[in-house]
Amino acid sequence: MVRTNENVTSFLAGAKELLNTSRQFSDIYRYIINNNRKNIYAEYFNLNNKVKSYKYQKFDQNVKRYAAYIKSKINADENSRIVLKMTNSPSWGEIFWAILMSGFVPILIDAKLPRDNAENLAKQGKAVAIITDDSHDYSISKIRTDNILQSSVNDDVITKWANEAIFSSGGTTGDAKLMVFNGENFVHQICCSLDMGKETTDIIYNKKCGKVKILAMIPFHHIFGFVAVFLWYTFYGKTLVFPKSNTPNDLLQICQKVGVTHVYSVPLFWDSLALSTTRKFALQSDDKKVLLDKMIKYNLKEIDAKEAGLASKPIVNDKIKAIILGKKVRYCISGGGYLSSDTLRTINGLGYPLYNGYGMTEIGVTSVELSKDVDVRLLGQIGHPLHGVEYRINENNELFVKSPTIHIREIIAGVESDTKFVDGFYPTGDVVSKEGNGYLIKGRMKDVIINANGENIFPDELEIYFKGLPFVNNLCVLGVISKDKTMHEDTVLVLEIDDKANEETLKDLEKTIKEIKLPHDTVIDQIYLAKNCLPLANNMKVKRFAIKKDIENSSNKYVLINAKKTSTKTRKFSEETLKNILPEVRKLFSKVLILPSFKIDDEDHWINDLGGDSMNYVELVQEIDNTFNIEITEEKYGQLTCVNDFVEEIARLTK
């Protein structure tokens, strides 16, 4: 059957059946099983690296068995809450439904959360148990996922389904925010797909029109992964493809091997794929570099077939795509953050239609660009509201959303309350502009930087200018209150540097940054280096607010590298000291602190700036004594606080 808008729309119309039910989670589950029993639910690699699969019929059997086991192990009232802390796998979905089927409410959290943070979320959500595959002990009942998967209990325990699920947008503090959704929210979330077939025949379609295999890489505890991958595609009976891990090699391997057709991910993934592909071809012959360039331009309709030559041939396109995401991919979505125009151009130019989408934990997925026109895709817009969703923009350009998909209650710091609306609309905190038939996200209101000229600077737009810098693993742009105490903010660039970098590469990096021409005469006022990895929300987006707070509170987590030194001390060292003593002391600081030397300024305080403590201070003194064959007396302990202090003392003792 050839895909047409009419037959795709007819297929998606199946979602309307849910509107005639009681709109419970149980109704969604029954539809999935009754309509898709013979379809393949999951494909994955087994321990022998062989691709395995099984159908929704077995999926249903597993869900019932797991529900019986969970109910037999947890002695609590129906609708009590259970934390689900698991990585993506075929069994994640089965255990999610099993929790609901056994009468309990799942609280979905990040599998990578440390124990204390998971405990905090469990406490805020008043959970009675946790299901996890980690090895930690918890203050509430714990069921290991292995025990559930190996269980043989198979009694008919379905009494009353639970009808709520809870998502998290935090967990590190007592102010964790939890959003409570009910079955009706997700019935309407599925129905958001009803009109998609009018604009595209590629996002989802009947199995008679071809296979749909979607990569299950976005964590299912995240609203993007849960709705756009798990919920929508299992409802329509499609196949979820699970990589062994989210490393680039494992992702590309399974996409190529099983013929993945749909890839949905966050900007970080698409940026990385675009950069790695262009760098890979840059290292090859001039002919191959030219071929890739022509292929991209041809797919973007910038040149015709005659100008493209071989690059216009499908067989050549397929050969190049075969070493990237494979040649079967027909629909890609980016969500969860700002998507750069360069990335959009590269990925679409490779022949992978990449669209931008929009959603939030609080509201679900509410729009995605659907146009088949590549010029529209390159605009980076989020499309127009999906079925049942309405957008409104206020005088401050903040996006407000009205939708039956919005959460019904929220839990903040353990206090539960109804969701707050403004005239029936939910304030998203995102700044947008209306662009023709679509919307363009500019950034978060709380992230907007007001510079000395009174201009509004959007960090997302600036960050794209620094993508691809050598030795930079991650970065963010943000505003911090100016040191001159005026109302404006300084524009700050924070870099997470690869430990392979050295002082020379750092100097080159600073020079490169200064030479980058930013729009609207914007300048970077300060550059900070992070001593550890930048904090991420749901392992996807950098937590700007947390970094901003740390920098404004002079936290030692970040080192300012382009500011004039504020030390009142003037150090005058001999040429011999500068050559023989100073470099060695820096190395010893670096060794004891386990910190790259370029992150250590010679006037940085051992405790206040570098995060050292009294124990490793003693270790440092011992290292210095042994290296320079001296003995620094205990009365000097604590008085020598930085590299230069020790250099002066060593120079005095070795005269």
Choose the most confident range, by mean pLDDT, from 212-221, 331-340, 531-540: 212-221
Higher pLDDT, 518 or 239: 239
**Is residue 373 packed enough to be buried (19+ CB in 10 Å), middle (13-18) or exposed (0-12)?**
exposed
Helix or strand run (H / E) with residue 629: none
pLDDT at 357: 95
**265 pairs with which residues across the strands?**
334
pLDDT at 166: 98
Give percent above pLDDT 90 in the chain: 60
Neighbours of 2 (CB within 10 A): 8
* Secondary structure letter of residue 581 according to DSSP: I
pLDDT band at 155 (very low <50, low <70, confident <90, very high): low
What phi and psi values does residue 136 have, to the nearest 5 degrees?
-75, 155
Report the residue count for the chain: 655
pLDDT at 564: 40
- What does pLDDT average to over the chain? 89
Higher pLDDT, 646 or 457: 646
Q: How far apart are the first and last CA of the chain?
A: 90
pLDDT at 634: 78
- Helices then strands, counting H and E runs in the chain, come out as 24, 28
Bin 384: left if φ > 0, else alpha if -120 < ψ < 50, else beta.
beta
Higher pLDDT, 16 or 47: 16
* Segment 351-407, tens digit of pLDDT: 999 999 999 999 999 999 999 999 999 999 999 999 999 999 999 889 999 999 999
- Lowest mean pLDDT, pick from 440-454, 469-483, 573-587: 440-454
pLDDT at 20: 95
Give percent above pLDDT 70 in the chain: 93
Beta strands, E only, 296-408: 331-334, 354-360, 364-368, 390-393, 398-402
Asked if 201 contacts 174 with a C-beta cutoff of 8 angstroms, the reply is no
> What is the identity of the amino acid at 607?
I
Q: What is the mean pLDDT of residues 462-469?
A: 84
Beta strands, E only, 280-363: 331-334, 354-360
Q: What is the mean pLDDT of residues 475-484?
A: 80
* Residue 574 scores a pLDDT above 70: yes
Asked if 341 contacts 519 with a C-beta cutoff of 8 angstroms, the reply is no
- Does the reported pTM lie above 0.85? no
Bin 341: left if φ > 0, else alpha if -120 < ψ < 50, else beta.
alpha
For 393-406, b/e burial (b = at least 16 CB within 10 A) is eeeeebbbbbbebb
Asked if 78 contacts 103 with a C-beta cutoff of 8 angstroms, the reply is yes
* Segment 53-108, tens digit of pLDDT: 999 999 999 999 999 999 999 999 999 999 999 999 999 999 999 999 999 999 99
Could you tell me the maximum CA-CA distance found in the chain, to the nearest angstrom? Answer: 91
Residues 6+ apart with CB under 8 A from 432: 393, 397, 398, 399, 439, 440, 441, 442
* Residue 167 scores a pLDDT above 50: yes
Choose the most confident range, by mean pLDDT, from 272-286, 291-305, 548-562: 291-305
Query: Which tokens is 491 given?
Result: 């524009």
Query: Which tokens is 251 given?
Result: 């992702």
Q: What is the mean pLDDT of residues 295-318?
A: 93
Taking CA atoms, 264 is separated from 225, 367, 385, in Å, by 8, 14, 19
Query: Which tokens is 11 given?
Result: 């297929």
* Residue 522 scores a pLDDT above 90: no
pLDDT band at 568 (very low <50, low <70, confident <90, very high): very low
Q: What is the mean pLDDT of residues 632-653?
A: 88
pLDDT at 512: 87
pLDDT at 566: 40
For 589-601, b/e burial (b = at least 16 CB within 10 A) is bbebbebbbbbbb
Higher pLDDT, 109 or 537: 109
pLDDT at 567: 43
* Secondary structure letter of residue 517 according to DSSP: P
pLDDT at 471: 86
Distance CA 338, CA 344 (A): 11
